[in-house]
Amino acid sequence: MEKFLLFVDDENDIAMYPLSKLAAVTCAADEAVLLRFSSGVAGGTGAGGTENDLVTLTTTAGAAVEKAIFEAIARACTATGSMKDGLITVCDDINGIFLHKDILSCAITLDS
């Protein structure tokens, strides 16, 4: 069963991606973790298949915070047991649910 990553930024700003569409997880600056997915809008089928959706996780400041979040995402994606249902809530700003204690919020940008 494929797993899905859920991000809730606002009532009308929600995204869920199959794990197979995750292209990269990077850290562009302190307090920001970037998750890039093949586009949910264009399907990544445009010029060179380069369309991507971007989810930016705002994190607490501090050394090694981003690495700990990377590890939490990787563990959740490969976990069995309690996460076997296939849905991984990474960030839910409305209900205050976060995969890791240092994730504060998220922003979803389609086709970036």
Of residues 16 and 62, more confidently modeled:
16
> Which pLDDT score, from 0 to 100, does residue 80 have?
76
- For residues 55-70, b (16+ Cβ closer than 10 Å) or e, as one string? bbbebeeeeebbeebe
Is the per-residue pLDDT at 103 higher than 80?
yes
Amino acid at 49: G
> Which pLDDT score, from 0 to 100, does residue 112 have?
58
The per-residue pLDDT for range 38-95, each reduced to its tens digit, is 986 655 554 455 689 999 999 998 778 999 999 999 999 988 776 557 899 999 999 9
Whether 15 contacts 7, CB under 8 Å: yes
How far, in Å, CA of 23 to CA of 45, rounded?
14
